[in-house]
Structure formats: C-alpha cells, structure tokens
Amino acid sequence: MSLIRILLVDDHPIVREGFRRLLERQVGMAVVSEAGDGETAVEAFRDYRPDVVLMDLSMPGAGGLPAVQAILSRDPDARIIVVSMHQGAVFAQRAMAAGARGFVSKSSPPEELVRAIKAVMTGRRVLSSDMAQEIAHTSLGGDDMASLTPREREILTMLARGMNGRSIADRLGLSSKTVQNNLSQIRLKLNASGDADLVLKAQRAGLTEAP
C-alpha cells in the first residue's frame, strides 16, 4: 500500500501534535510537513507536494480559505480537507465551494478524520457525520432530481464523486463557463445552498456512494 503523505496546517502547535500522533499511528499515513498559517501552508505544499492537506480555517493572516484557493490555483487536483472548530453548515459550504474535498469538525471522533482522508484519496468528497446532519437540517428541500436534464445529472454525479469544475469540463469536452452555468441551474432546481449541499442531495438520491 502506498504511503499517504499529509500536510498539517493549524496555528496551534498542540493541535498539530495531536493530529500527528493520531495519523502516524495509522498504517500507510505519514505527516511530511506542518504549517501554522496560510502563507506557510502554500509554501509547504509547493515544497512537499503532499497527497492530502488538513487545513484549519481560523489562523493568523489571510486564514484557511484563501490558502485553500491558493493551493488549488497551483494544483486543481489538490486534496484538501478543512478541519475546523466551526460547526455551522455555512462554514462547510464555504469550504466546499472554495474547492475543499472534505470538511471535518474538530469535535468529531478521531476515526472520522482518518475515514475522511481515505475517502478523498479515492476521489470522493466527504463531510463528518455531524456536518452532514447540520447541512441536512438546514436544507430547504426541493430534491427533485427528475427536473434535471441528462447533462445536469451527469455533471452533478461527477461533482459528487470529487471532481471540480475544471476537471468536469475537461472530461466532458465543455468550457468551464458552461459547466459553471449548469451547476448554477442545478443549484436552482434542487434549491441547494452550495456545493456541499449538492453533494449531500446527490448522495441521498443514490447518484454516488455516500461516505
């Protein structure tokens, strides 16, 4: 089994130490670098090219979301999981909209973080169970998959399986603008509040395997 190389990004050294101890007890996982702010995280990603980045949101400087976007601008296929103390659905939705592959709250059991890392390595998007429930509770309904065109259904399925807009466009031979327009229509039809909500609705509809 190939080694999963992980970059830890959190401004609290004690938190990073806890993550490191957890992850290095797992077979096939290793922490290759750490960072305490977003700017250092981008530099560490460039230098170490980790398989997975665990990113905090609240840090000195620009914070976690700009770091997510900066890393993805370098590598659109980067696998980033936001791990945050913030538990509101809006934080998970913003993280997923920024391009993160997953969101795990720091109140989750340790095994949920390990599960999330394994999930994103297989190309899936993932939410910790508490965040999935939070988003489900705040969703307004409108899960009318029958209203989607075949193309919209195809794009939604690809999104839920972990592909970003650029990758979907390349796979389908479409422009990125066309894909984004389709995603906007899908959000309207399904009354979805963001990409994380879309993924959850797709999972509930059976379009992709739920995490």
In a domain, 210, yes or no: no
pLDDT digits (tens, 9 = 90+) for 47-62: 999 999 999 988 877 7
Q: Which of 81, 106, 137 is the last residue of a domain?
A: 137
CATH classification of the domain holding 21:
3.40.50.2300
- One domain for residues 98 and 17: yes
- One domain for residues 32 and 114: yes
Cβ neighbours, 10 Å, residue 207: 20
pLDDT at residue 191 in the model: 82
pLDDT at residue 207 in the model: 73
Percent of the chain with pLDDT over 70: 91
The pLDDT mean for the chain works out to 87
- Of 203 and 68, the structure prediction assigns the larger pLDDT to 68
Residue 201 has pLDDT above 90, yes or no: no
- One domain for residues 173 and 197: yes
pLDDT at residue 202 in the model: 82
Q: Can you state the angle between helices 150-160 and 195-204, rounded to 10 degrees?
A: 100
In a domain, 186, yes or no: yes
Q: Which domain holds residue 66?
A: 4-137
Percent of the chain with pLDDT over 90: 53
- One domain for residues 132 and 149: no
What integer is the mean pLDDT of 110-122?
94
pTM exceeding the 0.85 threshold for the entire prediction: no
pLDDT digits (tens, 9 = 90+) for 159-189: 988 888 899 999 999 999 999 999 988 988 8
In a domain, 51, yes or no: yes
Residue 72 has pLDDT above 70, yes or no: yes
- Of 7 and 63, the structure prediction assigns the larger pLDDT to 7
pLDDT digits (tens, 9 = 90+) for 78-96: 999 999 887 667 788 788 8
- One domain for residues 40 and 16: yes
**Residues near 139 by Cβ (< 8 Å), separated by ≥ 6?**
191, 192, 193, 197, 200, 201
pLDDT at residue 51 in the model: 97
Domains identified in the chain, total number: 2
Q: Which of 137, 162, 187 is the last residue of a domain?
A: 137
75, 203, 77, 207: which is closest to 153 by C-alpha? 207
pLDDT digits (tens, 9 = 90+) for 137-167: 555 444 467 778 889 889 998 998 888 889 9
Residue 208 binned pLDDT confidence (cut-offs 50, 70, 90):
low
Asked whether 159 and 202 are in contact (CB, 8 A), the reply is yes
What would you measure as the largest C-alpha separation in the chain, in angstroms?
A: 49
- One domain for residues 109 and 32: yes
In a domain, 63, yes or no: yes
